[in-house]
Amino acid sequence: MVKVLYFARLRDQLDCAEEQVMLRDSRNSVAELRQQLAARGEPWLSAMQDENLLVAVNQVIATPDVVVNAGDEVGFFPPVTGG
Amino acid sequence: MIRIQNEDFSLADEYQALREDAPQIGAIVTFVGLVRDLHNDESVNGMFLEHYPGMTEKVLAQLIEDARQRWPITNARIIHRIGALHASDQIVFVGVNSAHREAAFAACEYLMDFLKTKAPFWKKEQRSTGDVWVDAKASDTERESRWQN
């Protein structure tokens, strides 16, 4: 299982702040996790296909090829707007 | 020093903390960001600031470390508020001290530019037409890219 977090506009769209997700394999890439979540259909499909979506694995910004392991924390969020 | 907090902060206290660091300090540069009451001519009554607890602190610590690698600064302090804020409220503080002004000016601007594009904060504005998540600005990404070389 991985702990998946959603923030800001994305959390509102999905009506979900946090969930535990069972990986299809014991190891998945960020891109594969996105595909797995997109396969749920709307609103996940649009959210996960958004090219502006940012992903952090264990609180570090991750590219699509980064590996996700069981026990990891994965955060999905839109571009940041602080300051 | 990094703080993420609901409560307001005192510029005088932060300045004093930067001043007392060490006698070799010859320059202090501070920046304070405030909530504006307009978005493209539409009035904004207030906003709500959300962040990614844990990751935010890590990103800001890394930005300070990056600034230290680039300039001979002595110390840097960053405060960012979260929660409900209103027009004219202070949102963010960045303060840097160093032996000479050049490093302090540059590092303060660098930290603010990267905070804008890298630190996981999000603003939701209460506009006259309803609550709206603020979109990221291309101009902020352009400002960040000026530091590439």
User: Would you mind telling me the total number of residues written for chain A in this entry?
Assistant: 83
pLDDT(B4) > 70: yes
CATH number where A37 lies: 3.10.20.30
Instruction: Kindly give, in sequence order, each residue whose CB lies less than 8 Å from that of residue A68, ignoring residues fewer than 6 positions away.
Output: A2, A23, A27, A28, A29, A30, A32, A33, A57, A74
Q: Which neighbouring-strand residues pair with A2?
A: A21
Chain A residues inside the 8 Å CB shell of B91: 82-83
* Owning domain of residue B54: 2-137
pLDDT digits (tens, 9 = 90+) for B58-95: 999 999 999 999 999 999 999 999 999 999 999 999 99
Considering Cα of B116, then B119, then B122, then B123, what sign does the dihedral take?
Answer: negative
Q: Which of A56, A60, A83 sits opposite B116 (nearest CB)?
A: A83
Q: Is B110 left (phi over 0), alpha (psi -120 to 50) or beta?
A: alpha
Nearest CA to B8 out of B32, B41, B25, B44 is that of B32
A7 within domain boundaries = yes
A58 within domain boundaries = yes
Do residues B49 and B35 make contact, with C-beta atoms less than 8 angstroms apart?
no
Q: Which residue on chain B is closest to A52 by alpha carbon?
A: B136
pLDDT digits (tens, 9 = 90+) for A14-57: 999 999 999 988 789 999 999 999 999 999 999 999 999 999 99
A65 within domain boundaries = yes
B20 within domain boundaries = yes
Tell if the CB–CB gap between B51 and A79 is shorter than 8 Å. no
CATH number where B94 lies: 3.90.1170.40
Q: Write the ipTM.
A: 0.94
What mean pLDDT comes out for the span B31-52? 88
Q: 0.90 cut: is pTM over it?
A: yes
B39 in contact with A at a CB cutoff of 8 Å?
no
A83 within domain boundaries = no
**Distance in angstroms (rounded) separating the CA atoms of residues B117 and A76:** 16
pLDDT(B21) > 70: no
